[in-house]
Structure 1
Amino acid sequence: MVRVRREEIAPLLWGWLYVFSLLCAYYIIRPIRDTISTVAGAHTLPWLFSAVLVTMLLLQWPYNFLTQRLPRERFIAYSYHFCSLILLLFAALFFLPGGLNNRWVGRIFFIWVSVFNLFAVSVFWALIVDVFDTRRGKRLFGLLAAAATVGAIAGSTVTALLARHLSTSALLVLSALLVQISVFSAVRLSRRGAQLKKPAEEPTGNMLVNETAKNVLTPLLAGIRQTIKSPYLLGICGYILFYSVTSTLLYFQQASIVRQAFSDESQRTAFFASVDLAINILTLLCQLTVTGRIISRFGTPYTLALLPFISIIGFAWLGWAPSLSILVGFTILRRAVNFALARPSREILFTVVSKQEKYHAKVFIDTLVYRTGDQIGAWSYQALSVLGLALAPMAIFSVALACGWMLLSFLLGKSQEKISFKNP
């Protein structure tokens, strides 16, 4: 049981409602984005992935500018109000005759949802680490992570049940309302959280900028320099690249199989929502029962190697029999293991690096390296398609990547344990 002190109850509840409503809103619209990917086709998806990367980089500058000049609560409110307005704008566009079939509206929506996910979550954690110090964070962040998973389950359930009965516009309006609940909760979390700080702990300003939150805003050059100088950090880069490339290859194969399996777009949306629901339920069950035990019992090397091992089996099976049922089983297991086991293990890798490397190199790896992997995966799929290769050869290519990934994962985990032993 997690011990929550009396003065922490109100901030924790507001934080719980904040992340619950935010993830619920995202998982309502995520299946719509994935449906658009099946309509766009494999020839368009690489360009969309590139557009996501460019958009993300371009938005870093205004994001940096605003966070340093606006009070924290005002920045959060303005940002999420803007997101709600964008959702309502897309709802209106999709409601117009032919709006759902307008390929440019769909493409822009795909890009915006992908960027919204990164932005919304980064703002949430920037506020959370400012409200709760390290001592409180160790006790309470697990509860907030559980709230995020429950919100994802709720959002997936809503879309899975209502996609065939409500219009896309109605789902977007519902998502916009949930974002407004996030605004309401975030402002109250900020105000309640200020009461947790002792006078000596009061920040010098009220911006959404502190030592931890700045990791999203710090120029990437420092992170690049630190990573190049460290073989250990380069190994983490390799791990993230392997994960991102194989995830993108699976995403493209998913778009191809689902497009053939379902002719109706509402059926595709309901399908994607059902898959997300299963993933989040399995993730929550693992987090509550086996995550800590597996990491403690088997250690970082074997836990890190589990996801690429599952990927080897899954891609091989998908190449042997590229069916919808195999795709569903592989996708659910892979993403649930990533959320419940691989992601916590990846964070453990950063526990043995310096403070500066955590704030600079980690951001470089989590943003630019990750999105670079997306690009490699997207354009590799495009190149293989141009060569006329079917799903089976692409799956074999993915198996080869996953084999290298598994070896790197084990060696990286061993390095982490060795460094930790030398510097306890």
Structure 2
Amino acid sequence: MSLSSSAVARQDATPIVSALAFFFILTAYYIVRPVRDQLSGAVGSSQLPLFYAATLAAMLLLTPVFGALVARFPRRRLLGWSYCFFIVCLLGFMPAFLAQDRIGARTLGVAFFVWVSVFNLFVVSLFWSFMADVYDSRRAREVFPLIALGGMAGAVFGPLITSALVGVLGVAPLLLVSAAMLGVALMLLLGISAERAQGGATEQPIGGSLWEGVRELWSSPFLRFMAILMLLGDGIGTLAYALVADYAKAHLTSSISRTAFYAHIDLAVNGLGACLQLTLTRLLLIRRGVLWAVVVPMLVNLALMLFAVASGHAQFSVMGYSMPYLAIVMIGSRGFMYGMTKPASDALYTRVPREMRYKGKNFVETAVWRLGDLLVTSSVTALEGLGIALGRIALIGAGAALLATWVARKAATAPELAPEENGASMPDAHAVKEA
């Protein structure tokens, strides 16, 4: 009786521990993200295609490595090795930032931009793949909004720490703080893995080829739709990010001011995401199903782009800063992506086979994502070079958002997804539950 009660207590505590782990992961990320963004702001949008091309190359090199690790090692080792690698890298960048004047902001900016992007996509993607492995689809629908909310709290806390400490400590000590946060997250995740192992859950490698993620993208309609949705849905935010980089280059001359500026932008994005997690996202996931939760953000992007067609370079005030309307587009698009699209799409991955959760999902959220960033920034540069006005670029963005709405609906109703119980509201808890 006591053993059973203890097991139930541990199971009930797992979502809280998961949310706390995600809090520390995103705190670690959002401590270093403004540092990355201020470096891209120092050189402007003209260098972003180069940054994203380098990032994409890194993704293409590392995705097979990730696939090989997933195929051969249990998740406990995979988590430990991956997170320890990024912790060591954070510590390794500290001397580089201490020698920033000798290295040069542009050179260090390229290297750190690529590394932070790889850090974000691999660490966060691996976390959600692990969560999809821990919870069956019924439980995921109940706890994923809570876990994502823990992450949003970290996404708010990280910029607060950065803006408060960067002027006092400088950049290099912030990397040490970020490494410590990621270390705490690793301890919590390993604890969850150990609890599941004690409960008899499988701890075997997933197996398969290291190129399975690429192969599944071509063979699975669901993954194809998710890849297209990634290209179209994130493209609006990337478009705005490029133009905001030009604004930062023109108006903010010091690294301290740019870091604080981007930290405030992150606060606005993540504050919106947290509000969505507390209100609309959970309501849609529980009562209306995943379909609405992936379609609504695309409709928001459409509305933002249509307004951009009319407003152009109109100035608005956000967090005390005057900035173009497209900065508002970035806040709105990314706020809905993090606060609604991400937990909804992660819930969809609980209804596909385990190998697809790790390999196919990781490929979509790494290589495909950065390919989209490269295509968008290169297209913006080309269109501006041809003299295309902002209104017409925004109109193209509106067309992309409209297409993304249709793609989101197709992804949420893909034939290989496990069926849901009770119509469209709750998924089948047994269809994808692992032995």
Instruction: Give TM class, smaller chain.
Output: 0.7 to 0.9
Q: Distance in 1 between matches of 2:246 and 2:313?
A: 16
Could you tell me which residue of structure 2 aligns to residue 303 of structure 1? 296
Scaled by the length of structure 2, the TM-score of the pair is 0.80
Q: Distance in 1 between matches of 2:88 and 2:360?
A: 34
What are the equivalent positions in structure 2 for 1:376-415 lying under 5 Å apart? 376-387=375-386, 393-406=389-402, 409-410=405-406, 413=409
Q: Is the 8 A contact 1:131 1:196 kept in 2?
A: no
Residue aligned with 1:43, SS: helix
Q: Is the 8 A contact 1:41 1:256 kept in 2?
A: yes
Q: Distance in 2 between matches of 1:16 and 1:350?
A: 18
2:169 to 166, 172, 178: 166
Q: Distance in 2 between matches of 1:236 and 1:394?
A: 28
Residue aligned with 1:339, SS: helix
1:263 to 243, 246, 253: 253
- Tell me: CA distance 1:196–1:248, structure 2 relative to 1, closer, same or farther (3 Å): same
Could you tell me which residue of structure 2 aligns to residue 73 of structure 1? 76
Q: Which moved more, 1:366-375 or 1:14-23?
A: 366-375
Residue aligned with 1:324, SS: strand
Q: Is it true that 1:132 corresponds to 2:132 in the alignment?
A: no
Could you tell me which residue of structure 1 aligns to residue 371 of structure 2? 372
Could you tell me which residue of structure 1 aligns to residue 319 of structure 2? none
Q: Is the 8 A contact 1:28 1:159 kept in 2?
A: yes
Q: Is it true that 1:108 corresponds to 2:102 in the alignment?
A: no
Q: Is it true that 1:225 corresponds to 2:219 in the alignment?
A: yes
Counting aligned pairs with the same residue, the percent is 29
Backbone CA RMSD of aligned residues: 3.5
Q: Is the 8 A contact 2:67 2:211 kept in 1?
A: yes
Q: Is the 8 A contact 2:25 2:154 kept in 1?
A: yes
Q: Distance in 1 between matches of 2:260 and 2:24?
A: 20
Residue aligned with 1:44, SS: helix
Q: Is the 8 A contact 1:319 1:396 kept in 2?
A: no
Could you tell me which residue of structure 2 aligns to residue 241 of structure 1? 231
Q: Which amino acid in structure 1 is aligned with residue 398 of structure 2?
A: A
What are the equivalent positions in structure 2 for 1:16-27 lying under 5 Å apart? 16-27=19-30
Mind listing any 5+ residue stretches in structure 2 that lack a counterpart? 1-6, 316-321, 424-435
1:367 is displaced (CA, Å) by 4.2
Q: Is the 8 A contact 2:48 2:377 kept in 1?
A: yes
1:400 is displaced (CA, Å) by 2.4
Q: Distance in 1 between matches of 2:248 and 2:134?
A: 43
Mind listing any 5+ residue stretches in structure 1 that lack a counterpart? none
Residue aligned with 2:312, SS: helix
Q: Distance in 1 between matches of 2:209 and 2:307?
A: 35
- Tell me: CA distance 1:97–1:149, structure 2 relative to 1, closer, same or farther (3 Å): closer
Q: Which amino acid in structure 1 is aligned with residue 49 of structure 2?
A: P
1:167 is displaced (CA, Å) by 0.5
Could you tell me which residue of structure 2 aligns to residue 329 of structure 1? 328
1:238 is displaced (CA, Å) by 4.2
Q: Which amino acid in structure 2 is aligned with residue 308 of structure 1?
A: N
1:395 is displaced (CA, Å) by 4.5
Q: Distance in 2 between matches of 1:302 and 1:226?
A: 20
- Tell me: CA distance 1:219–1:306, structure 2 relative to 1, closer, same or farther (3 Å): closer
1:55 is displaced (CA, Å) by 0.5
Could you tell me which residue of structure 2 aligns to residue 48 of structure 1? 51
Q: Is it true that 1:38 corresponds to 2:33 in the alignment?
A: no
1:339 is displaced (CA, Å) by 2.5
Q: Which moved more, 1:321-330 or 1:165-174?
A: 321-330
What do the CA deviations read for 1:337-379 (whole angstroms, capped 9, x no partner)? 2223344555687799899987876665444443332221021
Could you tell me which residue of structure 2 aligns to residue 184 of structure 1? 187
Q: Is it true that 1:57 corresponds to 2:56 in the alignment?
A: no
What do the CA deviations read for 1:226-249 (whole angstroms, capped 9, x no partner)? 34xxxx876655443322333222
Q: Which amino acid in structure 1 is aligned with residue 155 of structure 2?
A: A
Q: Distance in 1 between matches of 2:10 and 2:168?
A: 44
Q: Which moved more, 1:246-255 or 1:378-387?
A: 378-387
1:61 is displaced (CA, Å) by 2.3
Q: Distance in 2 between matches of 1:54 and 1:321?
A: 36
1:104 is displaced (CA, Å) by 1.5
Q: Is the 8 A contact 1:215 1:359 kept in 2?
A: no
Q: Is the 8 A contact 1:16 1:144 kept in 2?
A: yes
1:281 to 245, 256, 271: 271
